Homo-oligomer: A and B are copies of this chain.
Amino acid sequence: MKRVNVAIMGLGVVGGGTYDILTGNHDHIKRTQGVDIRVKKVLDRDRERVLGRGVPESAFTDSIDELAADKDIDIVVETMGGVEPAKTFIIRMLQSGKSVVTANKELISKYWYALEPVAKANGVGLYFEASCVGGVPIIRTLTESMQANRVCELYGIINGTTNYILTKMTEDGSSYEAALREAQQLGYAEFNPTADVDGFDAMYKLSILSSLAFHTTVPYGNIYREGITRITAEDIKSARDLGYVIKLLAIGRRENDRVEARVHPTFVPVDHPLAGVRGSFNAVWLTGDYVDDIMLYGRGAGARPTGSAIVSDVVFCAKRKTHEYTDFGIAEKADSHIEFATDFSSKYYLAVTACDRAGVLAAVTKILGECGVSIRNILQKGGEGEYAPVTFLTHTAKEKSVMTALEKIDKLESVRSIDSCIRCL
């Protein structure tokens, strides 16, 4: 039986989960996959943490040189997170002839173009199923199950923290601040929640997923990004009244050589399967020209689901004699013949607070009409005193037209504030 030695770099939450699976399900994997996978080394700065998890002392190392020199190590799992030193270590491992399995979405999103050529030159593999959507096998599905299709659309709820917060706001009527605090207390959100709530995490993942789905480099810098920090309890309530729930969606589209990639809060119709993805669960919805719609749903984070994705990559890698690389040649910048749409089309939810008097609604709708934004629903609610909130749902309109209209509306003396502008699915 083939024997494969693995090293794990970084025994934090996900690295620990990976270690638990490789040891706990070692015999099961050996019996069902025909490969005997051993954890030979664990690299970490913190010796006590490693020994405390039950790793034998002989397996511990804090020296990357030792790993690089160890000819017996076939596959290295990187679960350190962050760009450095993960990047330097991964390049070193690839150059030492070891395949690498990583869960590092930021690193892959930013430096995939630099890592893949090193892997290719050394004839080893670079695998990162765990970098996107935890235990959900979205990358394997894109690469090994969608080959017959041109994928034209991809919608993802791919950040567990924001989905937890938005679900809490929807189901318990919490404010954003209260829901965030609760997510932090439960360990779903970091003390500094920026990476999640401002959409960076989803942006990195969308860059990886849409590159694979559309067979072209989608740099994260070409992705429109907006987080959930401005979503109010009032937005959530309005959404519900109109038959929607608010989700932070990552959206990718390709039509011929035009690519659209964006991350922002989105009104999702309640009867859409993505609307039912609650709490820390994640899902990705894909449309291919032949397969039509498919959705993959599961746990988007956590030691065990993410560890499951890592070990799946380890097994997948261990059983191969040769490795594959992107067909399009991942690059630092987008391919010159690809046009990235900045003026995309969408339906919109708009909320303004305006004087509660005759003629004001006419002035607002006139501007929308002049900008080519057609309205499908207006709701004027009872206000307090002289101002009243008014909400609009628009038909599909151009982003720039909507922004121009909002600028003009904002200048109306009778409009106190523009409260929300949220795109709709």
Contact = CB atoms under 8 A, between A and B. Distances in A.
A194 interface: no
Given A34-B327, A290-B25, A307-B290, A144 B312 contact: yes
Nearest to A134: B291
Interface stretch (A60-68, A106-114, A225-233, A292-300): A292-300
B33 A315 contact: no
Contact of A312 (B145, B276, B299, B302): B145
Interface stretch (A46-54, A90-98, A147-155, A175-183): A147-155
Interface stretch (A135-143, A199-207, A342-350, A388-396): A135-143
A311 B21 contact: no
A305 interface: yes
A23 to B, nearest CB: 12
Count the copies: 2
A324 B34 CA distance: 10
A321 B321 CA distance: 9
A144 B315 CA distance: 8
B140 A145 contact: yes
Interface residues of A, number: 55
A170 to B, nearest CB: 13
Contacts of A304: 290-292
Contacts of A288: 135, 308
A273 interface: yes
A290 B273 contact: no
A357 interface: no
A191 interface: no
A32 B215 contact: yes
A288 B25 CA distance: 12
A137 B145 contact: yes
A289 interface: yes
A314 to B, nearest CB: 8
A32 B144 contact: no
Contact of A141 (B34, B141, B290, B328): B141
Contact of A293 (B141, B298, B311): B298
A244 to B, nearest CB: 16
B315 A147 contact: yes
B299 A297 contact: no
Nearest to A138: B145
Given A25-B149, A32-B215, A140-B144, A298 B291 contact: yes
A141 to B, nearest CB: 5
Nearest to A304: B290
Interface of A: 17, 21, 25, 28-29, 31-34, 129, 135-137, 140-141, 144-150, 215, 271, 273, 276-277, 288-299, 302, 304-305, 307-312, 315-316, 319, 321, 324, 327-328
Cβ-closest 6 pairs across A and B: A294-B298, A148-B311, A137-B145, A135-B291, A291-B308, A147-B315
